[in-house]
Amino acid sequence: MSQLILKAAAYAAHQHRDQRRKDAEASPYINHPLTVTNILSEAGVDDPVVLAAAILHDTIEDTTTTADDLRRLFGEEVTRIVLEVTDDKSLPKARRKELQVEHAPHLSEGVALVKFADKIANLTDILEAPPAWPAERKAEYFAWAASVVDALPVHHVALRARFDALVARAPVPTAA
């Protein structure tokens, strides 16, 4: 395993150490970036820069990490990928989601791969370790994730098959 990937895992674990996921068990947040990275690895992605960026993909968005921190520790390529997948938290949530769909077709390959794996990880969590969301919100997330993935400029057979299998299991909103 690349030293870069191990360094990224150690850094992300430290930065996310006090964060928890929204599932019933409040699992450690670090499980998410590690899962995203594992999804890419299982799909045959072996570029250490992309894998390191996958591990670090939420550090700027969700921790005190800055772009300068990442640049100094991991270099320009990793930082560029992380910055491209980072939402601007100063914007309303609805606008951030719109921007993900709008920007998806213009992402570079490495960024698109991380985005793809992130959506797969999130859909898997909604199905297997769900947050306390109503079925309607879960179904809306699935539909939105599909709009992001459908706009990505990469055509990765293994990731697409895994994503489509999850979408086929999408929660159905209950009738009111």
Eight-class DSSP state of 104: G
In terms of Cβ atoms closer than 10 Å to its own Cβ (0-12, 13-18, 19+), residue 58 is buried
Does 173 reside within a domain? no
Which is the catalytic residue, given 23, 46, 47, 62?
A: 62
The answer to whether the pTM exceeds 0.85 is yes
Which is the catalytic residue, given 23, 46, 47, 61?
A: 61
CATH of the domain at 158: 1.10.3210.10
Eight-class DSSP state of 106: G
pLDDT at 24: 86
Instruction: Report, in angstroms and rounded to the nearest whole number, the Rg of the chain calculated over CA atoms.
Output: 16
23 is catalytic: no
Least Cα distance to 40 among 110, 103, 87 occurs for 110
Does 117 reside within a domain? yes
Per-residue pLDDT of the chain (176 residues; tens, 9 = 90+): 599 999 999 999 999 999 999 888 899 999 999 999 999 999 999 999 999 999 999 999 999 999 999 999 999 999 999 999 999 999 999 999 999 999 999 999 999 999 999 999 999 999 999 999 999 999 999 999 999 999 999 989 999 999 999 999 998 877 65
Structural domain that includes position 21: 3-167
Does 47 reside within a domain? yes
CA distance 72 to 116: 26
Does 172 reside within a domain? no
61 is catalytic: yes
Does 175 reside within a domain? no
Structural domain total, the chain: 1
Residue bearing tokens 């490495």:
110
Does 76 reside within a domain? yes
